[in-house]
Amino acid sequence: MTIRVLLADDQALIVGTFRILIDLSQDFDVVGAAANGREAVDLARATRPDVVVMDIRMPVLDGIAATAEITADETLRATKVLVLTTFETDEYVAEAIRAGASGFLGKGIGPEELLAGIRTVADGDALLSPTATRALISRFLAAPEASGPPARSATALPELTAREREVVAEIAGGLSNDEIAAKLYVSPLTVRSHVQRAFTKLEVRDRAQLVVRAYQSGLVRAPRE
């Protein structure tokens, strides 16, 4: 399957380099390039890409605001956003996730890492390591009144079954599907099925948004730092 990619960056050299790199891979197709966030939103609506590779600092409309518009558009529900920037700060990562981004990478990565990142996001997985998930989500998205050790609510996200809530809570704790399967004594395929059903019931795009919902709903609460 060919992954349709839209590039959004105000630096022409970077866009040109990324286009060449991505076009060299047979499973990618660059459908457009935007020089600012407003163009990125308009081109996303026109081309319906699978993944938008989005810079943060751009004129007219920045990458965070552009990401929020794209992810809020019901007609672009299948489009994922991978934020790629030189500004690798916790605050930017948290803002990108809140805006609906499915992944976050620094521009210092190698070519293979970029291509792997686009594939990961296109597949519906969040491009954040378990460590990054724990650190960033706990710090910026956890309920502010939470204190003490992490706790779980039995009443949050009532649309999920008990097992689905358990799986979502483990994802919010930074565990991979394989780690959750080992902990719950089930197969990775079973975990994936629970995750997919949670996506559908909660109307979220991917694991990054699932983690956000878990913390914002109070299903999982992290301690204050």
- Over residues 4-14, the pLDDT tens digits come to 999 999 888 88
- The whole-number pLDDT of residue 87 equals 59
pLDDT tens, residue by residue, 65-78: 999 999 999 899 88
- Continuous H helices in the chain: 12-23, 37-47, 63-72, 90-99, 111-122, 130-140, 162-172, 177-184, 188-202, 207-216
Phi, psi torsion values for 221, nearest 5 degrees: -125, 135
Rounded average pLDDT over 39-66: 93
> Among candidates 22, 215, 41, which has minimal Cα distance to 119?
22
Is 139 within a domain? no
CATH number (domain holding residue 167): 1.10.10.10
8 A C-beta contact, residue 50 and residue 78: yes
Per-residue model confidence (pLDDT) at position 21: 85
Residue at 140 is within a domain: no
Average pLDDT of the residues in 52-80: 91
- Sequence-distant (6+) residues with CB within 8 A of 138 are 150, 215, 222, 223
DSSP 169: H
Does the residue 132 lie in any domain?
Answer: no
Tally of structural domains, the chain: 2
Q: Is the dihedral of CA 71, 75, 78, 82 positive or negative?
A: negative
Q: What is the CATH number of the domain that holds 105?
A: 3.40.50.2300
Same domain as 167, residue 118: no
- Judge whether 168 and 212 are in contact, CB under 8 Å: no
Looking at the structure, tell me whether residues 48 and 86 fall in a common domain.
yes
Q: Coil, strand or helix: which one is 93?
A: helix
Domain annotation covers residue 138 = no
Is the domain of 87 the same as that of 166? no
Residue 16's pLDDT is what?
A: 86
According to the model, what pLDDT value does residue 128 have? 57
Which pLDDT does position 143 carry in this prediction?
Answer: 45
Shared-domain flag, residues 112 and 160: no
155-180: average pLDDT? 85
- Give the model's pLDDT for residue 15: 85
Verify that 70 and 152 share a domain, yes or no. no
Mean pLDDT check: name the lowest of 33-47, 82-96, 133-147, 188-202: 133-147
Query: What token pair was written down for 33?
Result: 């390039």
Mean pLDDT over 36-46 rounds to 96
Pick the most confident of 47-56, 76-85, 89-98.
47-56
| Structural domain range at position 89 | 3-127
